[in-house]
Amino acid sequence: MAVRRLSAGQTIAKVNAEVIGVIALGAVIVLTLPFSIWPGGSTKVFSDIFVKIILIFALMISTITTPRRVRQMTWVMIVASGYIAARGVFDYLRGVNLVEGDRLRGAVGGMFENPNDLALNLVTFMAPALFILFQDKKTSRRLVAGALCVVMLAAIVCTKSRSGFLGLLAMGAVVMFHTARVKPGIVLAAIVAGMMALPVMPDSFWNRMDSIMNADEDATGSRAARLRLIDQGVQVFLDNPVTGIGAGQFQNYNAPGVVEKWRVTHDVWLQVASELGLFGLLTFGFLVSRAYSANLSAMRMLRQPRRRSADRGTRIADPSTIDNQSGLRKHAIRNQSAIRNPQPAIELPEADRRILDTNAKGMLAALVGWTVCSLFASVAFNWTFYYVFALSVAGRDILFVRRAAAREAEPAPAPAPQLVRAHA
């Protein structure tokens, strides 16, 4: 990629606010190394994980430049998640790779090893698969997506993750909201299918979900431990508000008064705040907000734009109908704005429009699921968010390019109507 871009007279990689933001978060990790309670451990977080995230994120932003590539990368994520889920269900049936007696963890380890992290990943990438299932025009893709959704749902149930369950509900609500606007019958069918599936769920699953609200049902004590970790995380941040204690070092923090030792924060925001301080928290918040805004911007651009006034019927107020000078001036300003700032139609083949629409809605639902799950997981330096982030930005940037091309191709706007003085 670097060689091809440089030979074409371009920068080594595409640079936008999101790429700069990811690099800035890496810079915060590096700049806080001298203040880390274990500089070597924080260096390992950067060199073994985050530097790769920066490179892959920049690679995705620079190369996913067509709707076809968006779809290909999305399918890579869905199929990979489906494989992890299928292997997990197989392990669960064999009684292997279980923790706490009957909770599934990922067979491949890494960021899938913890049941909660496994559920978070599956919830996240189940979102675009659901949109393909409900809205794709090709039957074969819908069948594959449907099968993968079933396997991912089964694996989420096998994890018995409370955060995964809450994230699944939030993600599903977003999917149902957007699907109901175009295919309300599918939403009704999904609700009926979900109600029929409820009795199939094992009692151990519902007992664990009941502990979300009922502390007496939490036999492991993890609910109470998480509450203590929240207090502990807040205190660590207040004690080290600027520099934090170093990336990845909360679980190694052993100051006087620490109750929950050798534990992560189990909350992504507390993780960033306590480990990277205020600047890390602000930078990470910027990245999450940009991920959401990228999908919302793409959805706005895909809506039918207002047509230009001069030749496409935009309503322009007639100055002669205004009976006071103030009202006349307001209408003149509004008319000039409508003409000078048109929203040109983005010319897209229907297949490309459908891909980008599915991507924007699917990644938005994925972000909602990830956000809810991340309130109970330390995943700031895991890959999941950055894959979704890159796909969100890629879809938006494709539409930016198409809109710019449409604006250049449009004829010059008609002159603004002259302000006519009202006479008594």
pLDDT of residue 322: 47
For residues 252, 254, 255, 257, the Cα torsion angle rounded to the nearest 10 degrees is 130
Beta-bridge partner residues of 103: 99
pLDDT of residue 327: 54
The average pLDDT across 23-52 equals: 97
- Strand 98-99 to strand 103-104: parallel, antiparallel, or no bridges (unpaired)? antiparallel
200 vs 318: which has the higher pLDDT: 200
89-126: pLDDT as tens digits: 999 999 998 988 889 998 887 788 899 999 999 999 99
* Sequence-distant (≥ 6) Cβ neighbours of residue 93 within 8 angstroms: none
Please check whether residue 35 is in contact with residue 244, taking contact to mean a CB–CB distance below 8 angstroms: yes
Average pLDDT, the chain: 86
Please check whether residue 298 is in contact with residue 356, taking contact to mean a CB–CB distance below 8 angstroms: yes
| Cα–Cα dist 245/260, whole Å | 16
The average pLDDT across 324-333 equals: 54
Question: Taking each helix axis from N to C terminus, what angle separates 139-159 and 67-94, rounded to the nearest 10 degrees?
Answer: 40
Q: Is the pLDDT of residue 422 over 70?
A: no
Q: Is 98 left (phi over 0), alpha (psi -120 to 50) or beta?
A: beta
Q: What are the C-alpha distances in Å from 28 to residues 35, 223, 269, 287, 302?
A: 11, 32, 15, 14, 36
End-to-end alpha-carbon separation of the chain, Å? 69
Q: Is the pLDDT of residue 338 over 50?
A: no
Q: Is the pLDDT of residue 348 over 50?
A: yes
Tell me, what amino acid is at 193?
A
pLDDT of residue 34: 96
pLDDT of residue 415: 61
pLDDT of residue 342: 54
pTM of the model: 0.86
251-292: pLDDT as tens digits: 998 877 777 777 888 999 999 999 999 999 999 999 999 999
351-395: pLDDT as tens digits: 999 999 999 999 999 999 999 999 999 999 999 999 999 999 999
Place of tokens 């009922």: 214
Domain regions of the chain by residue span: 16-212+222-306+317-409
| Cα–Cα dist 382/367, whole Å | 14
Percent of the chain with pLDDT over 70: 85
pLDDT of residue 314: 43
236 vs 186: which has the higher pLDDT: 236
Average the pLDDT over each of 61-70, 174-183, 351-360, 411-420 and give the range with the smallest value: 411-420
Q: Is the pLDDT of residue 309 over 90?
A: no
pLDDT of residue 24: 98
Q: Is the pLDDT of residue 347 over 70?
A: yes
Q: How many CB atoms lie within 10 A of CB 68?
A: 12
Q: What are the C-alpha distances in Å from 384 to residues 109, 119, 301, 332, 369?
A: 15, 12, 26, 50, 11
Q: Is the pLDDT of residue 3 over 90?
A: no
pLDDT range class, residue 306, cuts 50, 70, 90: very low
pLDDT of residue 85: 96
DSSP state for residue 419 in the 8-state scheme: P
Q: How many CB atoms lie within 10 A of CB 111?
A: 18
pLDDT of residue 47: 96
Number of residues that make up the chain: 424
| Cα–Cα dist 368/339, whole Å | 37
pLDDT range class, residue 424, cuts 50, 70, 90: very low
The average pLDDT across 17-35 equals: 97
Q: What share of the chain is helix, strand, coil (3-state, %, to 5)?
A: 70, 0, 30
pLDDT of residue 219: 67
